[in-house]
């Protein structure tokens, strides 16, 4: 397939049948927070490690299938938050919209538990969520749980958009999975994490990584791992192109979920096939993504900030 730089041509392009395609969800807002609609592919510039890419823009994201794992922390301070998230089932229904979908529900403390397997019946999902109860334990092994959810999604092999809706604290407590392994798995599988963080307290909300700030694939990975250790829910969303909200009350939860739903239904789904190396695959390691809209220099853009290519054979000590 031959595309002009930064734009798409009239030839068929189906994300669900392409290999080595990197999906880059992006939202574009004015400095006052209003969505900017109807941008064309030629109005975006997407860079992979500083190299401009040939991009495709999917015109109708709502028609694409959605496979989602709702991942809920049930331990620690989650015990005090159950009343605040009582409207979660209704909000998930709004997030799904009219798209074909499959939803699974997983709770976790020390270990993840599959409460409800993938189903297209939103009433069944709501019933599963209603059965969620607080669990004992001081663990909140978020890295382990996200790794588990990613494997569930990868096993589906359904070519839908893959999303994890993570409802949790902002810090990991007790995971055996390394942060670098989670970053690599999300990047390899094009999985987006939308994060809903409760009781953030005084947790530092970090700046987005964006392009730059790291040197080479290891430097980028170390930077991402360090950010995850400070606020796992925020950085998983930033790295994967998802949304991040936090709440302390039922009203702030509902308002945040409405904001998240609005963004999900109004994002641009950009994609590109990375410039290939001699073996036909992109260079191994962590890649930094940068998206800009030159026609709107003052716009606020949120987008997937990285992807990972190849296998994570060894994790350097500074990235553990």
Token readout for 9 is 């041509």
Q: How many CB atoms lie within 10 A of CB 68?
A: 25
Q: Which residues contact 261 (CB under 8 A, 6 or more apart)?
A: 91, 94, 95
Count of alpha carbons within 13 angstroms of residue 180, beta-carbon side: 20
Tens-level pLDDT at each residue, the chain (320 residues):
223 334 444 333 333 334 578 999 999 999 888 889 899 999 999 999 999 999 999 876 666 788 999 999 988 766 556 656 667 888 888 888 777 899 999 999 999 999 999 999 988 998 998 888 888 778 889 999 999 999 999 999 787 889 999 988 888 888 999 888 998 888 888 899 999 887 644 333 434 443 344 556 656 666 777 767 778 888 898 888 888 888 777 777 778 777 777 777 778 999 999 876 666 677 888 888 999 999 999 999 989 988 888 776 654 555 55
Global pTM value: 0.81
Instruction: Look at residue 277 in the predicted model and tell me its pLDDT.
Output: 64
Other C-beta atoms within 10 Å of 222: how many?
20
Q: How far is CA 267 from the centre of its chain?
A: 13
């Amino acid at each position: 397939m031959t595309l002009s730089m930064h734009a798409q041509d009239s030839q068929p392009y189906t994300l669900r049948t392409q290999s080595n395609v990197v999906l880059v969800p992006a939202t574009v807002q004015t400095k006052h927070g209003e969505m900017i609609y109807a941008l064309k592919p030629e109005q975006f510039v997407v860079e992979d490690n500083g190299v401009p890419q040939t991009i495709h823009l999917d015109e109708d994201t709502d028609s694409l299938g959605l496979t989602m794992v709702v991942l809920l922390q049930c331990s620690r301070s989650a015990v005090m938050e159950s009343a605040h998230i009582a409207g979660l089932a209704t909000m998930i229904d709004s997030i799904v919209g009219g798209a074909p979908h499959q939803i699974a529900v997983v709770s976790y403390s020390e270990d993840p538990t599959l409460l409800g397997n993938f189903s297209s019946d939103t009433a069944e999902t709501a019933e599963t969520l209603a059965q969620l109860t607080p669990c004992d334990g001081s663990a909140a092994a978020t890295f382990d749980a996200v790794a588990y959810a990613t494997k569930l999604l990868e096993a589906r092999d359904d070519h839908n958009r893959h999303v994890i809706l993570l409802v949790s604290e902002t810090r990991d407590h007790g995971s055996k999975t390394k942060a670098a392994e989670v970053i690599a798995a999300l990047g390899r599988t094009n999985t987006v994490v939308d994060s809903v963080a409760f009781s953030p307290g005084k947790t530092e909300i970090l700046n987005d990584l964006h392009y730059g700030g790291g040197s080479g694939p290891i430097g980028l990975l170390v930077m991402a791992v360090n950010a995850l250790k400070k606020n796992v829910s925020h950085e998983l969303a930033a790295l994967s192109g998802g949304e991040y909200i936090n709440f302390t009350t039922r009203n702030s939860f509902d308002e945040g979920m409405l904001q998240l739903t609005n963004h999900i239904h109004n994002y641009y789904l950009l994609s590109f096939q990375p410039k290939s190396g001699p073996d036909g695959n992109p260079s191994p390691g962590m890649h930094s993504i940068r998206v800009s809209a030159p026609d709107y220099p003052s716009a606020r853009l949120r987008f997937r900030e990285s992807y990972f290519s190849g296998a994570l054979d060894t994790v350097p000590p500074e990235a553990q």
